[in-house]
Amino acid sequence: MVNNEFRTCPDTGLKFYSSAENLLKVNAVAAVVFLLVGGFYGLLVGLTRWQAVHLLAADNFYMVLTLHGLNVLIFWMIFFEIAILYFCSSVLLGCRLATPRWAWAGFVLMVVGAVMNNVIVLQGASSVMMTSYVPMEADPLFYLSLILFAVGALIGCFVFFGTLVVAKAEKTYEGSVPLVTFGAITAAIIAVFTIVSGAIILIPTFLWSVGVVGEIDALAYRLIWWAFGHSSQQINVAAHVAVWYAIAAIVFGARPLSEKVSRTAFLMYIVFLQLASAHHLLVDPGVSANFKMFNTSYAMYLAVMASMVHGLTVPGSIEAAQRARGYSAGLFTWLRKAPWGNPVFSGMFISLVGFGFLGGITGVVMGAEQINILIHNTLYVPGHFHATVVLGSTLAFMAMSYWLVPVLFRRELVLKGIAKWQPYLFGLGMTGVSLFLMGAGTLGVPRRHWDIGFAGTGGITHEFPAAAYTMLALNGMSVILAVIGGAAFCVIMVGTILFGKKLGNQKMAEPCIVAPVTDEEYEANGGSAYAIPGTLVLAMVFFVSFALYYFINWKYLAETWGIA
């Protein structure tokens, strides 16, 4: 295979090596397919939780819930992230992809694993949820499919690292890698730890399921599985923060306020973010309070600090760029004059706000060792992670796709009118999903539960407050909104790839990337090159909400039984 062919994109000036380009395309397409599949399962879950509709029978509900988790939390995310890794290495560094054959092998393994997993779970004997906690047993092929997928993804990570080496050796860039690439490095490092942990626990579990290994310790399983399960969501965080920076650069020509601050924040992710796997073990036996407190706090909340720093510097860099370009009046002109009709920007900004206010705050609060007693395994948990993974990561990836897919496939985006509304629709739906699930969870409604009305228990019931039923109904309605938004995204993407107007070497009608703001522009604006008063106000609003919500939950906790 010849690996030195490339084209220079007429719209962006970026170099696309054909080796990387083809892999980018197939990974992005696979991602969208699994998003569609997983999203459909999500619709069924939401409509079953809505007690008045109660769509699925119990066995199908648990099967579909297993499928929903795996397809969107694992398959959609990781396929898209592999595409991000290849983009941030090969395309941003202007370098050929290292070992494209291995990259293809990895892709094939991932597809085989993901398809096989769906087929196995649909057969009905592997409705074990994404977590597949031992001693609950799935079909051996269930574990094998996940192992295949993980090996494929691990190969993708090493192709990424290999490409970094090639780029450095062949001097395709000068100095340090771009910040966005550094974010991708962070994601790839977390991915390696994630996948290795997955292998450490899933391989013995596979061997146990075929009878080679006698017993898997249930507590050790939980510990190691969560190093895989939680860290996999931290890959998403690192990747979507990289995407935020990328979109700030694409739409506004923004540069980081400070390379040092943003990169150090990513370093905090690399070292500490994965410790948060302990969030899931806070009410477990067998591990000490010291272990719980140290790990759940990411060693003194240093990774939370990193997220809050990105939360300031991403909009801050946008504000600085906008002010440099003349939108410098008052506190918020820069924000009002942002391109709210451009889904690349609106998706990114809703992702930023949703991830911070809904996902971030709730995650840290329920990750406090003792507060977790109120939250563990209630619907609050899915409520939280729909804000982080869906509103945060998925919406950021959708926003990125609106830019990347036309650039990559050289096709004009189709259905632009719908694309303009899609992030709002999806964002609104998913905000509803998170809020109402969290609301129900606060009332004690369990997660992964088919019937909170307890029909069929022979008369032993629990009366949840009427508000819980209302929350689940509102959740169902929000799911419908979100699914319409998600389906619109998939239709736009597939439509663009198949039917979008071919661009060839023609430039797009509207420029798809803004020229970087220059030093002169930054300096010209009253000399206050990086003044970001508007962002600071937003950040302070965030901080006050965070602190209030944090202490309110300690107060709730103080009202329950004594526990020691």
Partner 1 sequence: MSEQKSSDAESIPMMQKLLDNPFLLLFIGVAAPSILFLGWGLVEIFTVPMR
Partner 2 sequence: MSSLSPPSKKLWWNEPIHKTELMWISLVFVWGLIMTFMMPYWHVVGKQNLGTETYKTTPKAFQASTEAFVEQYTVRNEGPRNFPVVAPPAGGDVYMIARLYDWWPIVELKKGESYRFHLSSLDMQHGFSLQPANINIQVVPNYEHVFTLTPNASGEYSIICNEYCGIGHHLMIGKLLVVD
* Contacts to partner 1 from residues 231-250, by CB under 8 A: 231
Residue closer to partner 2 by CB (options 154, 180) is: 180
487 in contact with partner 1 (CB under 8 A):
no
Partner interacting with residue 171 (select from partner 2, partner 1, none; CB below 5-8 Å by kind): none
Q: 543-555: string of b/e by CB count within 10 Å (b at 16+)?
A: eeebeeeeeebee
Q: What are the structure tokens assigned to 254, written together?
A: 């923004």
x/- track of binding to partner 1 for residues 138-177 (CB under 8 A):
-----------------------x--x-----------xx
Burial of 504 (0-12, 13-18, 19+ CB in 10 A): exposed
- The packing angle between helices 395-409 and 343-353, to 10°, is 160
Q: H or E element: which one contains 121?
A: helix 100-122
Partner interacting with residue 541 (select from partner 1, partner 2, none; CB below 5-8 Å by kind): none
Instruction: Report H helices in 2-97.
Output: 18-49, 58-68, 77-86
The sign of the dihedral angle between the CA atoms of 431, 433, 434, 438 is positive
* Shortest distance (Å) from residue 296 CB to partner 1: 10
What residue type is assigned to position 524 of the chain? A
Q: Which of 76, 79, 143, 182 binds partner 1 (CB under 8 A)?
A: 182
Partner interacting with residue 153 (select from partner 1, partner 2, none; CB below 5-8 Å by kind): none
Considering only the C-alpha atoms of the chain, give the largest distance between any 2 of them, rounded to a whole number of Å: 76
Partner interacting with residue 212 (select from partner 1, partner 2, none; CB below 5-8 Å by kind): none
* Shortest distance (Å) from residue 498 CB to partner 2: 28
Partner interacting with residue 220 (select from partner 1, partner 2, none; CB below 5-8 Å by kind): partner 1
Q: Which residues contact 139 (CB under 8 A, 6 or more apart)?
A: 120, 123, 125, 126, 209
Residue closer to partner 1 by CB (options 285, 459) is: 285
Rounded Cα–Cα distance for residues 378 and 431 (Å): 18
Rounded Cα–Cα distance for residues 448 and 430 (Å): 19
* Shortest distance (Å) from residue 302 CB to partner 2: 7
Given a contact cutoff of 8 angstroms between Cβ atoms, the answer to whether 1 and 23 are in contact is: no
* Shortest distance (Å) from residue 267 CB to partner 1: 6
Candidates 278-286, 340-348, 431-439, 472-480; binding stretch for partner 1 (CB under 8 A): 278-286
1 CB neighbour count, 10 Å cutoff: 8
The sign of the dihedral angle between the CA atoms of 358, 360, 361, 366 is positive
Q: Which of 112, 287, 425, 490 binds partner 1 (CB under 8 A)?
A: 287
- Residues 247-276 interacting with partner 1 (rule: CB under 8 A): 263-264, 267, 270-272, 274-275
x/- track of binding to partner 1 for residues 290-309 (CB under 8 A):
-x--xx---x----------
Candidates 287-295, 316-324, 375-383, 531-539; binding stretch for partner 1 (CB under 8 A): 287-295
Which of 537, 468, 523, 368 minimizes the C-alpha distance to 376?
Answer: 368
Which of 483, 486, 429, 489 minimizes the C-alpha distance to 43?
Answer: 483
Residue closer to partner 2 by CB (options 58, 329) is: 58
Residue closer to partner 2 by CB (options 112, 443) is: 443
Rounded Cα–Cα distance for residues 442 and 429 (Å): 20
* Shortest distance (Å) from residue 310 CB to partner 2: 11
Positions that interact with partner 1 (CB under 8 A): 161, 164, 176-177, 182, 185-186, 188-190, 192-193, 196-197, 217, 219-220, 223-224, 227, 231, 263-264, 267, 270-272, 274-275, 277-278, 281, 285-288, 291, 294-295, 299
